[in-house]
Amino acid sequence: MTTAQVTSDALEVTFTPGEKLAGLVRDIRIPLSAVRGAEVVADGLGATHGLRAPGLSLPGVRKIGTWRRPGEKALVSVRRDRPAVRVSLTGQHYDTLLLDVADPAGLVDRLTAASR
């Protein structure tokens, strides 16, 4: 499962080796100054929009990789029947992160507290 950790100055996202291989993704570190907002979405699969390029999509089961649509590039790692965290970014390689993590509400709380 994807993990996300908030440090004193950054959001660090770590993928499992299988996720890295399947989604053609790598671990990333986002400065907290680039985080515009974060929210929990009830259905991570349903919140994924655009075209996969590159990545893995098992319809109705799993999505991992980069999803693109006009004006937005998202890094996605979500599963069926799981809530996810949507993190809006500015000035980064990705505009949005959509992540299935162990404690979505806790991650949103930590990001909100760190951005104050």
Write the DSSP assignment of the chain as a string of letters: --EEEE-SSEEEEE--HHHHHHHT---EEEEGGGEEEEEEES-TTTT--SEEEEEEEETTTEEEEEEEETTEEEEEEEETT--EEEEEESSSS-SEEEE--S-HHHHHHHHHHHT-
* Amino acid 74: pLDDT: 98
- Boundaries of domain holding 64: 3-114
pLDDT of 1 reads 87
pTM: 0.94
Domain count, the chain: 1
Please report which confidence band the pLDDT of residue 115 belongs to, taking 50, 70 and 90 as the band edges: confident
